[in-house]
Amino acid sequence: MAMDFLNWIVTGFFRLLFWPLGILPPLGALTVISVVTGAIMVWIFGRVSSQERIRLVKDRIRGNLFGVRLYQHEIGVVLRLQRQIFRDTFTYMTLSVVPMLVLMIPVFLIIVQLNLYFGNRPLRPGEQAMVRVEVTDPSLVNQVPVSLKGAPSFTVETPPVHMISEKEIAWRIRAVQAGQHSLAVQIGNHQVAKNLEIGEKWGRVSTLRTTSWLDSLLYPAEERLDPRTGIRSIEIVYRPLPLSIMGLDVDWLVFFFAVSVVASFALKGVFGVQL
Amino acid sequence: MRTGFKVISLAFPTTVLMFLALGSLERGEQPPKKKVVILGIDGMDPQILKGFADQGVLPNFSKLMAKGDFKPLQTTMPPLSPVAWSTFITGQDPGGHAIFDFIHRDPKTIMPQFSMARTIPSDWTVTLGSWVIPLRGGRIESMRRGRAFWQLLEERDVPTMIYRIPSNFPPQSEGHALSGMGTPDILGTSGTFSFYSDHPPPGSEDMSGGQVNKVTVQDFKVSGQLTGPQNSFRTTGGNMTADFQVFLDPEEAVATLRVQDHEFILKEGEWSDWIRVDFEALPHVVGVSAIAKFYLQQVRPAFKLYVTPLQINPEDPAMPISVPGDWSAELQKELGYFYTQELPEETKAFSAGIFNGEEFWEQSQSVYQESRRALDYALRNFKEGLLFFYFSSVDQGSHMLWSYSDDKHPGFRRDGKLSKAIQTLYQEMDEALGRVMSSIDEQTTLIVMSDHGFNPFYWEVNLNSWLLEKGYVQLKDLGRRDGVTLFENVDWSRSQAYALGLNGLYVNLRGRESGGIVSRGAEYDRLLDRLEADLLAMRDPRNGNHPITLVVRTRRDLKGTNLDSAPDLIIGYNRGYRSSWKSPLGEFPREVFVDNRDPWSGDHSVDYRLVPGVLLSNRRISAEKPALYDLTVGVLSEFGVPKLSEMIGEDCLE
């Protein structure tokens, strides 16, 4: 329950955040988010790290590096200074560990949310996609009637493929109407819904709805499934959202890290933070 | 108003007007950017074209014929696509560009060789255990000699876009070019399909053009492997492979296919989209990328899955298929994945009985649709210079579907839809022509041309069997005529000549062939005289026809001097005849003349006078009987570029 509540809060917050950003192209929105993230990260780092000790260690490393240049012909001195630099570097890294661990939590939550927006794109009207339903018990695969409902937003193009060895049932659907739709899986007496996004624009795309709390951490857009339905997960296989800079394809995660790190370094002076 | 201010106030607009006037003058003096669009339609026949045009089903061709000009276009001898297109490309006859057939032979081993390109492996490698690390890359070399006409244009800064012209692999250009006929699949072959079944057809072990794999269906699941290219990083050799699984529904005719990280569902009779398949040569370091389409032919009672030949992935090409090198990736981005192998219409699976006519038609139509989308892209991006665009559908369709519309054919098949297939192919070309005509202006020169026309292929001629009957060839064991291929049974110490390729006949020449017995000079000439006379006198005893109407002596009749790989004679068959399926690869079946019942029922490897191509243009065609090599010069002239001395044609356009 706590997990679902956390997901609901964070997802709701990001929906609010993305509401004005939706008018931008995806790369523009990702740039804004990355810069803001970089700023927040550097601010948090400043609050949770021992800034005074970091400053001292960095000054000492700088001083010793200067010493290495000054006494480059004194091999004994150079070796002693290098030993000191090595020790201080280790101390510097140790001082960064705790704030990094603290930062990991918001970064993880942000990445999971960004993945909803930049990992995949909605189905285009007319486009095909695969819908996979994983069940908890193999007997459910071929002994209980399972069907897919949701017309006219999409059409079901194939009969269900019952894959007993995989505990899976799959269909191929074709998107028809743009919009945020619900796809219903009827299994026995239970009916379970799953979001289906169709449209030409980029936006939030939830690929998986699951019973697993661990998976729901990674796919937080939809409420967890009730395990009593016999369904472990429902997945719609969307296509990745293409992002490119001057014709070069870029991975959104790499772009996010690169921009947020650059932003952090650029803004450290503004916040008076030692990194 | 003060005078100084007045002067300034007048001077300013005057200067502006002068600049504007100068600017417009400058623009007016610039010659308009020359544009030439060539639509290359392989195998389009002038008689068939005229027939359909007269019926009123080709409105755009009719319009072009009325507004411009239309004449048959003399092809080459032999009238085979790689030969004819090479002549158009270089303006030379086969003696100049050195392409004489689809296959040539190594005179030392009498083994057939691909005529258009060859691979030269890396000659500098290091062996580490079972791994071979190449320190220098291998290369692929085009066997075509002579300069392509568009290279002459590029030298004069004329932009060019050459889309899939045959005999241009690896592509030679400084502009934009995508290779066509001659481009192999990822295995290095001209296209090897894969077929997976729990009940493979009988005799499928020796199936030509495809790999048949027996699989088992266990718990409604099939596991198989796609065979990739040889792993040259391994001393042990062997092919790289990629696993796939098929999950069959227990009741419905539908299945889920899992290929690496791709998963998709197919109903029986459905084709997949293009699927990327990556093969690892050196784990995590070197790999080869391919693409394929899957066709779930049948789920039960027998499981049948067809996979297209693995194509070179245009997104990440393992071989040079475009110029610039990344143009194929750019095309992929614009158009999606596409067939990259030469002649992708699946004629082999149809001939092998894996496909029926309807399945061939569906697959070949998907190839056409890809080309048609590419034409739209090419026209959108064509601003000036030369655009050449190639279509293979008429040629491949005429080969495979002729027997549906010809009730005299020994393999005549009755089918309401397919009897109209060739007409549909011509109508599709008419629609494409309409698209081109609507996208060009009056100043643009439009040329529609084909490399050759078409004939029915009723009867096969086993030319090697005829040579055997006439005593030109001797076998080591006369009782072993069947099933022995590649001249293995030939006694070279007593054989004077042999046939190889579709139209080639070679003398077993001393000093050239490793077991040669015929001396150069008088003996060679006397043998050719005798062969020529005997070949022209040949009769089909079943109907009294002369199966051969023309014999070309390459060293006497051709103008070019690149004759090292030339056959000594090129055979021109009569209408309805063609070399058999077995003879070109060194077999000696018992019958010389055989009815052709193969789906491959139309052909053009005959006497070139019987199968001219077409030439249409919105310019008047000045030559009375234009030939392919004249058109080369004609295109150069459109840009004011003089022909090279080795080009044998004359300008044929006004």
Q: Do A130 and B263 touch (CB under 8 A)?
A: yes
Amino acid at B365: Q
Domain holding A110, by residue range, is 2-119+250-271
Instruction: Note the pLDDT of residue B4.
Output: 45
**Do B164 and B390 contact (CB within 8 A), yes or no?**
yes
* Together in a domain, A208 and A113: no
In a domain, B195, yes or no: no
Question: Chain A interface, mutation test: which of B222, B246, B249, B333, most A Cβ atoms within 10 Å?
Answer: B249
In a domain, B527, yes or no: yes
Minimum Cα–Cα distance from B219: chain A residue:
A165
* Together in a domain, A12 and A76: yes
Domain holding B535, by residue range, is 459-609
Minimum Cα–Cα distance from B330: chain A residue:
A247
| Closest-CA distance of chain B to residue A74, Å | 44
In a domain, B181, yes or no: no
Minimum Cα–Cα distance from B272: chain A residue:
A128
CATH number of the domain bearing residue A144: 2.60.40.10
Strands B385-391 and B35-41: parallel
Alpha-carbon span B605 to B82, nearest angstrom: 12
Instruction: Note the pLDDT of residue B304.
Output: 98
Domain count, chain B: 1
In a domain, B519, yes or no: yes
**How many Cα atoms within 13 Å fall on the side-chain side of residue B12?**
5
| Closest-CA distance of chain A to residue B577, Å | 48
Instruction: Note the pLDDT of residue A17.
Output: 84
Q: Which residues of B touch A159 (CB under 8 A)?
A: 249, 252, 254, 267
Q: Do A166 and B247 touch (CB under 8 A)?
A: yes
Instruction: Note the pLDDT of residue B604.
Output: 98
In a domain, A245, yes or no: no
* Together in a domain, A20 and A107: yes
Alpha-carbon span A264 to A270, nearest angstrom: 10
In a domain, B288, yes or no: no
Out of A158, A164, A165, closest to residue B254 by CB: A158
Question: Chain B interface, mutation test: which of A158, A173, A207, A235, most B Cβ atoms within 10 Å?
Answer: A158
Amino acid at B122: S
A98-140 confidence digits (pLDDT tens): 889 999 999 999 999 999 999 999 999 999 999 999 999 988 8
> Which token pair is A129?
């996609």
Q: Which residues of B touch A157 (CB under 8 A)?
A: 267
Residue B614 sits at the chain A interface (C-beta within 8 Å): no
Instruction: Note the pLDDT of residue B122.
Output: 67
* Together in a domain, A184 and A102: no
Burial of B300 (0-12, 13-18, 19+ CB in 10 A): middle
Domain count, chain A: 2
Across-strand partners of A128? A174
Alpha-carbon span B569 to B579, nearest angstrom: 14
Instruction: Note the pLDDT of residue B136.
Output: 62
- Over chain B (654 residues), what is each successive 10-residue block's mean pLDDT? 44 46 45 88 98 98 98 98 98 97 93 84 68 69 93 97 96 96 92 96 84 96 95 81 97 97 97 96 87 98 98 95 96 96 96 96 98 98 97 98 97 96 98 98 97 98 97 93 88 97 97 96 98 98 97 95 95 98 91 96 98 98 98 98 97 95
A176-210 confidence digits (pLDDT tens): 999 999 999 999 889 999 999 999 999 999 999 99
Residue B271 sits at the chain A interface (C-beta within 8 Å): no
In a domain, B53, yes or no: no
Q: Do B249 and A130 touch (CB under 8 A)?
A: no
In a domain, A85, yes or no: yes
| Closest-CA distance of chain A to residue B331, Å | 13
* Together in a domain, A136 and A208: yes
- E-state strands within B423-530: 445-449, 455-461, 497-500, 504-507
